[in-house]
A and B are shown apart, each in its own frame.
Chain A
């Protein structure tokens, strides 16, 4: 009897089919392994689309601010007529001036109070201090309309006529929260021993603060004041609730203009405002780097 190769022959296909799924599996596994450093195509596609949708509206405003026609859908010829309209509109210029004044005052006021408050909050270990710290966070976590309504009611309740001054006061109150939040983390990161060393060397408490602590905080102070300026200048809701009749802040003016029909002058004003605030925010991000600190983004993310 000769052993015929029939048995191996019948086995062979069986053996061949058995590993096949395994081969297919290792293939997919290998694909997944490689997948960790492969670019996630879906996420990147979404990101590209997101950036397009983020910038198209801004681009539209800028583009049509240079349109010779009144249309918002057809771009005809390049012209600066809406800009010249804006600069000849006394009411709009008055609003611009008021917004600038409010932002400057809010910047200065919230800076002085915010630095003092942040220093006080970090240094004081009392329960009242931490309560005040919590309350300062309230405007950041309430919808702005509530802050606006509340401020307006307080002014009216005290019999104060709404005016530029009330906008300033309300904006200062609101911006202190930003300044305090940004500065608190910076102050907490400071080394308290440097100030103690200064006092050991004969500096008074005030001198130590002025010569040691404040210079160390300077980048953060500058960056947050630029941030406050931009935020207050652009703020609409709080200004809307606390402003008097005339002149109104620029953003409130824009609000009434876009509610009652389209006016291309708004594109010009809007473009100028966009350029201004984007420039300021970029500056605020850049300031810490100027002083040799790494990255300014933690300013915005609150890290």
Chain B
């Protein structure tokens, strides 16, 4: 099975250098056309959009997940496990069904916009679906649990007397959070960011259901090259491009993590 994994990944890498014959069948070879095609500004736009959406998703997840994990880990009392289970369990339910329910909630005459309109926060023309915001909302809903869990674990492990010390030293709640809690749990936050970034980057369902034709992400391009376009080598090349971008991020994360570990040992 390990061999299966390696073989399949090597094949993607190899096919990225392949070509298609006139019948549309993939042919192996050593050809840089697909790599050169990556320079196409159209791909660059999609790649940058994917990266931007993924990073924004990650940031929103971080901002939302911190208070949630904080409230549960430090003030959840005996309901701690129950609350975390209540967050985790729905995330293991079908991704498509959840995404579909979310798109109904965010739709133009859905409950959320209706509530916002009656509160005077939105007007008739306000849209969430079919915008970039819709795609990001979908990604956040889809992957925020990957942020909450590591943050919760980090906050639970954290020595809470540090927070008390911060308060004793006249730190306000915000100052204590930014100078004590945040640094103490930054490894959990970093792990959460990686866990959100990876699937958000490759997702194609959110852009399809919440975005629309002008919001496509790199996942949609890859899917299109394999299913509609029948240009597998180009699809493979795009997959490798995405992996390369993620890999650079991962290396940064791993080096940082190793440094943190070394500091902790010292």
Give residues in A with beta carbon < 8 Å to B: 29, 32-33, 35-36, 39-40, 42-44, 46-47, 50-51, 53-61, 64, 72-73, 113, 117, 132, 135-136, 138-139, 141-147, 149-154, 157, 169, 172-173, 176, 227, 230-231, 234, 236, 241, 251, 254-255, 258-259, 266, 270, 273-274, 277-278, 281-282, 285, 295, 297, 300-301, 303
| Distance of A163 Cα from B119 Cα, bound (Å) | 52
| Distance of A121 Cα from B239 Cα, bound (Å) | 30
Can you list 28 pairs linking A and B with CB atoms under 8 Å apart? A39-B75, A40-B74, A43-B66, A43-B68, A46-B68, A47-B72, A54-B90, A55-B90, A57-B101, A57-B102, A60-B101, A61-B97, A61-B100, A73-B109, A135-B5, A143-B219, A143-B246, A149-B236, A150-B12, A173-B4, A251-B96, A259-B209, A266-B97, A274-B90, A274-B94, A274-B97, A277-B94, A297-B81
For B94, list chain A residues within 8 Å (CB): 234, 236, 251, 254, 270, 273-274, 277
Within 113-163 of B, Cβ neighbours of A (below 8 Å) are at 141, 149-150, 152-153, 163
Q: Beta-carbon contacts of B161-181 to A below 8 Å, as 1s and 0s?
A: 001100110111100000000
Asked if A57 meets B85 with Cβ closer than 8 Å, knowing A47-B71, A149-B235, A234-B92, the reply is no
Asked if A57 meets B98 with Cβ closer than 8 Å, knowing A46-B71, A274-B93, A300-B149, the reply is yes
Q: Judging by beta carbons under 8 Å apart, are B86 and A51 in contact?
A: yes
For A266, list chain B residues within 8 Å (CB): 97, 100
Q: Judging by beta carbons under 8 Å apart, are A255 and B96 in contact?
A: yes
Contact of B93 among A29, A58, A136, A258 (CB under 8 A): A58
Q: Judging by beta carbons under 8 Å apart, are B8 and A47 in contact?
A: no
B88 proximal to A (CB < 8 A): yes
Q: Judging by beta carbons under 8 Å apart, are B93 and A146 in contact?
A: no
B32 proximal to A (CB < 8 A): no
Give residues in B with beta carbon < 8 Å to A: 1-2, 4-9, 11-12, 15, 64, 66-68, 70-72, 74-75, 81, 84-90, 92-98, 100-102, 104-105, 107, 109-111, 141, 149-150, 152-153, 163-164, 167-168, 170-173, 194, 198-199, 201-205, 208-209, 219, 222-223, 226, 232, 235-236, 239, 242-243, 246, 250
| Distance of A40 Cα from B163 Cα, bound (Å) | 13
Contact of B85 among A51, A58, A150, A285 (CB under 8 A): A285
Q: Judging by beta carbons under 8 Å apart, are A154 and B173 in contact?
A: no
For B88, list chain A residues within 8 Å (CB): 281, 297, 300
Asked if A297 meets B109 with Cβ closer than 8 Å, knowing A36-B167, A143-B202, the reply is no
Contact of B81 among A42, A64, A295 (CB under 8 A): A295
| Distance of A289 Cα from B194 Cα, bound (Å) | 31
B222 to chain A: closest residue by CB:
A145
Looking at the assembled complex, report how far the CB atom of B96 sits from the nearest CB atom of chain A, in whole angstroms: 5
| Distance of A44 Cα from B77 Cα, bound (Å) | 13
Q: Which 3 A-B pairs give the minimum distances between C-beta atoms?
A: A143-B202, A57-B101, A150-B8
Q: Judging by beta carbons under 8 Å apart, are B8 and A40 in contact?
A: no
Q: Judging by beta carbons under 8 Å apart, are B141 and A53 in contact?
A: yes
B194 to chain A: closest residue by CB:
A141
For B199, list chain A residues within 8 Å (CB): 143-144
For A303, list chain B residues within 8 Å (CB): 153
For B170, list chain A residues within 8 Å (CB): 29, 32
| Distance of A24 Cα from B252 Cα, bound (Å) | 47
Q: Judging by beta carbons under 8 Å apart, are B93 and A50 in contact?
A: no
Q: Judging by beta carbons under 8 Å apart, are B71 and A40 in contact?
A: yes
Q: Judging by beta carbons under 8 Å apart, are B105 and A50 in contact?
A: no
| Distance of A141 Cα from B2 Cα, bound (Å) | 15
Q: Judging by beta carbons under 8 Å apart, are A46 and B141 in contact?
A: no
Contact of A150 among B9, B67, B203 (CB under 8 A): B9
Contact of A61 among B92, B101, B201 (CB under 8 A): B101
| Distance of A51 Cα from B64 Cα, bound (Å) | 11
For B68, list chain A residues within 8 Å (CB): 43, 46-47, 50
For A285, list chain B residues within 8 Å (CB): 85, 89
Q: Judging by beta carbons under 8 Å apart, are B167 and A172 in contact?
A: no
B153 to chain A: closest residue by CB:
A301
Q: Judging by beta carbons under 8 Å apart, are B222 and A149 in contact?
A: yes
For A32, list chain B residues within 8 Å (CB): 167, 170-173
For A59, list chain B residues within 8 Å (CB): 101
Asked if A297 meets B232 with Cβ closer than 8 Å, knowing A50-B64, A60-B104, A146-B242, the reply is no
Contact of A173 among B1, B67, B202 (CB under 8 A): B1
| Distance of A157 Cα from B141 Cα, bound (Å) | 36
Looking at the assembled complex, report how far the CB atom of A182 sits from the nearest CB atom of chain B, in whole angstroms: 14
Contact of B239 among A61, A146, A255 (CB under 8 A): A146
Looking at the assembled complex, report how far the CB atom of B64 sits from the nearest CB atom of chain A, in whole angstroms: 6
| Distance of A119 Cα from B62 Cα, bound (Å) | 37
For A274, list chain B residues within 8 Å (CB): 90, 93-94, 97
Contact of A46 among B64, B93, B152 (CB under 8 A): B64
| Distance of A141 Cα from B253 Cα, bound (Å) | 13
Q: Judging by beta carbons under 8 Å apart, are A297 and B85 in contact?
A: yes
Asked if A153 meets B232 with Cβ closer than 8 Å, knowing A138-B5, A143-B199, A282-B89, the reply is yes
